Amino acid sequence: MKRSVFVLSTAALGLGLLVSGTPAGAQEEYKNLQILPKDTGKQELLQTMRAFTDALGVRCDFCHLERVPGDHNSMDWASDDLEHKQIARGMMKMTASINGDLLPEATGEHDGGVQCVTCHRGLPNPRTLDQVLLRTAERDGIETAIAKYRELRERFYGTGSYDFSTGSLGKVAQTLAQEKGDLAGALQIVDLNVEMNPENAEVFVMRAELQAANGDDVGARASVEHALELDPENRHAKRMLQQMDGGK
């Protein structure tokens, strides 16, 4: 595979660093650089590493081995013993390949490109909120998924790591109802969405739909009427109310 030096540089990693001057012929400081240029200077290396910790919301020891736990002086930076470091190398290659090959192929040219943070958003494992919740619901049940939502919201609200707008819980409820046939679970998630967004008409419309699907016509009507109180022009709510009136 042809790889130019540029593709392997931190610029191609999208780290946007000012390449700090390592004078030509300077001694190689680091022992085990396989992706970064071997003569990477100290400042540039540290900036790259800080970009990693920021992007993933972790500390150095997520990837680097601390020979004596708790003792920062015992860090063995060159060691590859930790799996995360090896995964990170794969991610560096992937990012370089996106920026060096795939993006230009897709767009002809690109502006800025992809960085670790583009996907990771401060998380070691960059899943979306609905993915996290569905996975938790599947493994540990709906109550645990709801507890997980509260915990993540407490910790990450406003950081941009997760999307706490109504859509995420909406997607979870929809998937539970349509793909898993779990109407009761879907309703619990919609109730959470209502609790978090009591002023949002769409959330009440969704509750009405699920209540209707569940045979709770009285509840469905109350939800639609509440949606229309919040937003008298809401088209979905209007249409549902018409159907309810017309159908009887």
Q: Which two tokens stand for residue 212?
A: 């209707």
- Choose between 64 and 207: whose C-beta lies nearer to ligand HEC: 64
- Cα–Cα separations (whole angstroms), residue 113 to 6, 48, 54, 162: 14, 16, 18, 21
Q: How far apart are CA 156 and CA 183, in angstroms?
A: 28
- Choose between 91 and 146: whose C-beta lies nearer to ligand HEC: 91
Q: How far apart are CA 56 and CA 34, in angstroms?
A: 21
Stretch that binds ligand HEC, among 60-68, 132-140, 167-175, 201-209 (CB under 6 A): 60-68
Which residue, among 5, 40, 4, has the nearest Cα to 20 in the 3D structure?
40
Collect all residues with Cβ–Cβ distance below 8 Å to 7 and sequence separation of at least 6. 96, 97, 99, 100, 101
Told to check if 50 binds ligand HEC by CB under 6 A, we report yes
- Residue 150 CB, nearest approach to ligand HEC (Å): 22
Site string for ligand HEC, 62-101 (x = CB under 6 A): xxx------------xx-----xx-xxx-xx--x------
| Interface positions with ligand HEC (CB under 6 A) | 13, 30-36, 45, 49-50, 52-53, 56, 58, 60, 62-64, 77-78, 84-85, 87-89, 91-92, 95, 114, 116, 118-120, 124-126
